Chain A
Amino acid sequence: MNQRFSIVPVFYLAFLLIPLYWLLTMSFKPMKELAGQLTLYPKSPTLDHYQVIFSDSSWYLGYLNATVYVLMNVAICLVAAIPAAYAFSRYRFFGSRSLFFGLLAFRMMSPAILLIPIVQIFSDLNLIDTYIAVALAHCFFNLPIAIWILEGFISSVPAELDELARIDGYNLATYFRKILLPEIAPGIAVTAFFCFLFSWTEVILSNALTTIDVKPIGAIMSRVSSVFTANVPILSAAGVLTLIPGILIVILVRRHLTRGFSMGRVD
């Protein structure tokens, strides 16, 4: 692999960072400066816009709400996907191939396609405006991707290990806990990363399934945007704050990311 210093990643880094820098400066500019003319950095920086967010519960609770249902979704997906991925990896059973594809097909459906029936179902179940409704609804796109990634990792664990564990008297649950899960730790990390990513960034379903109590930050931002120009700095500040959970998650799973992204195929 390339070991020499290359300028290419630096250019890409600049391309990524300039829009982020712009968001950051906008969030510190007073309204008057922003509306006046273009300034490359805030001449008289202010924390007013952040103060608005931190002093109004309908704003700051949005972050908490989104974090709660996203973490619930990640947990649900991992718990359901690990045994399913194991079944797909180790057993060839009736319909396994079509089932695997059928699951993946759901990953490709836009939330827009299923929006109305999903809202109907969760309102029939009396779950509108609850964390669990969003966490469950996001399963249709996250669970298939979780199974797909984990299947790759489990397949790279030699099946002989299963045999040995059985001879040692391990049942399936003990085998999972003591042998399989530690082996596929990078896979679990990268799966959690993807589930977090797709659930945290989704807006259509999470907006439609929530009304007051558990509105996520994305939905709050889209509501405010109706009086658009007046709110540019506040939306910028709100946008900056949405970066924090993402950065935390990257730092948390970074150790596993590169191995994880190879999708288990280390050979």
Chain B
Amino acid sequence: MASTAQHRLAYGLLSPTLVLMILSGVIPFAIVIYFSLHDTFAGEHYIWVGTTWYEQVLGSAEFYAALLRSLGFSILALAIQLPLGIYIALKLPAQGLLSKLYIIIFAIPLLMPVIVVGYIWRFLVLPKIGLLSEFVALLGWNYDLNDPVVVWITLILMDTWHWTSLVVLLCFAGLRTLPDAYYQAAAIDGAGRWAIFRHIQLPKLRLVLLIAGLLRFMDSFIIYTEAYVLARGGPGVSTNFLSLELIQTATIQFDLGEGGAMAVIYATIVVVVAWLFFSRIIPSQSMKSQEGT
């Protein structure tokens, strides 16, 4: 077991982090929980209402609809971007000028403010003058932004454009750590391409894929700005994701109690999913090797 001196040192090293996290995360979240258990008039007097807001949120069909849309969007994003990212990473040249050039250009969409990403895709589908909408029209289809399916496809395309590079870069780096000897041994054994991928490359990618999957899940589940710029939640409510619903309730209707309850439920879902990912990552990390000490 670690000694008391070690405990003190560890917490000393952690103290700047703890102070910053308490200020920017813990206190704000505690306030959200407080909101969710109270009713307020003009944000001045707070009256304890117990679980009333939670019952209201959990009893509303709109909440479940928004939740399903958010989950559906995340699942689609992951199902497309993870395999696509792995595939592209496998096809990248390992080194040389071309490899460097690819990496720089691939990183560009990642570093764009989300609002700009939203605008780019909005401009691509402007009626009459958008490149994508006109191209689709040329093929004889009608690009109709009043059709929920079209808006969903556009959003998924946009998210794939924006984020697949993250998966590519993580996987590319993961593959680079494989020693050539592995491939030589596989060649001697006469292993085919699929066998090499399945038994040598994929296991090596486990950690980076979990990281990519977790980051992609978190960010697609909380998508707000791009979706708002592109479609404002519409047509109808077809792209009204959980974050849009939340911001609508909390800041536009200024319904602190209901917004708070929604936020707490939202956070709970996200933490549960994250725990599922996390419990698979940690055993492979250093914390395991120290378990016995």
Contacts and interface: CB of A to CB of B under 8 A. Distances in A.
Contacts of B168: 12
B231 interface: no
Contact of B285 (A16, A121, A155): A155
A52 interface: no
Contact of B113 (A104, A118, A200, A232): A200
B151 interface: no
A120 B23 CA distance: 12
Contacts of B176: 1, 258-259, 262
Interface string A174-217: 00000000000000000000001100111110000000000001
Nearest to B211: A263
Given A113-B263, A196-B111, A200-B111, A19 B177 contact: no
Interface in B207-230: 207-208, 211, 215, 218, 221-222, 224-225, 229
Contacts of A136: 20, 23-24
Residue from A38, A113, A136, A151 whose CB has the most chain B CB atoms within 10 Å: A113
A144 to B, nearest CB: 8
Contacts of B131: 18, 22, 38, 40
Nearest to A99: B14
A267 B111 CA distance: 29
Given A197-B110, A203-B115, A116 B250 contact: yes
A167 interface: no
A225 B118 CA distance: 12
B106 interface: yes
Contacts of A76: 20
A57 interface: no
A201 B114 contact: yes
Residue among A37, A110, A145, A257 with most chain B CB within 10 A: A110
Interface string B88-113: 10111110000010111111111111
A106 interface: yes
Given A38-B129, A93-B11, A143 B17 contact: yes
Interface residues of A, number: 108
Contacts of B259: 116
Q: Indicate the size class of the contact surface on chain B.
A: 35 or more
A184 to B, nearest CB: 14
Contacts of A115: 247, 250-251
A83 B6 CA distance: 14
Interface in A227-265: 232, 235-236, 238-239, 242-243, 245-247, 249-251, 254, 257-263, 265
A118 B32 CA distance: 10
A16 B161 contact: yes
Given A83-B14, A263-B211, A236 B266 contact: no
Which of A83, A101, A262 is most buried by chain B, counting CB atoms within 10 A of its CB?
A262
Given A38-B128, A203-B113, A258-B172, A243 B108 contact: yes
A265 B208 CA distance: 9
Contact of B91 (A2, A19, A203, A250): A2
B108 A121 contact: no
Contacts of B105: 13, 16-17
Contacts of B149: none
A87 interface: yes
Nearest to A109: B267
A16 B229 CA distance: 20
B286 A151 contact: yes
Nearest to A138: B24
Contact of A140 (B21, B32, B90, B121): B21
Nearest to B6: A91
Given A16-B108, A92-B2, A257-B169, A22 B120 contact: yes
A35 interface: yes
B113 A242 contact: yes
22 contacts: A2-B93, A6-B92, A12-B168, A22-B123, A76-B20, A87-B11, A91-B10, A93-B2, A93-B10, A97-B287, A106-B25, A108-B271, A112-B243, A114-B29, A117-B32, A140-B24, A203-B225, A235-B119, A242-B116, A246-B111, A261-B174, A262-B208
Interface of A: 1-3, 5-6, 8-9, 12-13, 15-20, 22-23, 26, 34-35, 37-38, 40, 76, 79-81, 83-84, 86-89, 91-94, 96-97, 99-101, 103-118, 120-121, 136-140, 143-145, 147, 151-152, 155, 196-197, 200-204, 217-218, 221-222, 225, 232, 235-236, 238-239, 242-243, 245-247, 249-251, 254, 257-263, 265-267
Interface of B: 2, 6-7, 9-11, 13-14, 16-17, 20-21, 23-25, 27-29, 31-32, 35, 87-88, 90-94, 100, 102-116, 119-121, 123-124, 126, 128-131, 134, 161, 164-165, 168-170, 172-178, 183, 207-208, 211, 215, 218, 221-222, 224-225, 229, 243, 246-247, 250-251, 256, 259, 263, 266-267, 270-271, 274-275, 278, 282, 285-287, 290-291, 293
Which 6 A/B pairs are nearest by Cβ-Cβ distance? Answer: A246-B111, A261-B173, A110-B222, A140-B25, A155-B286, A117-B31
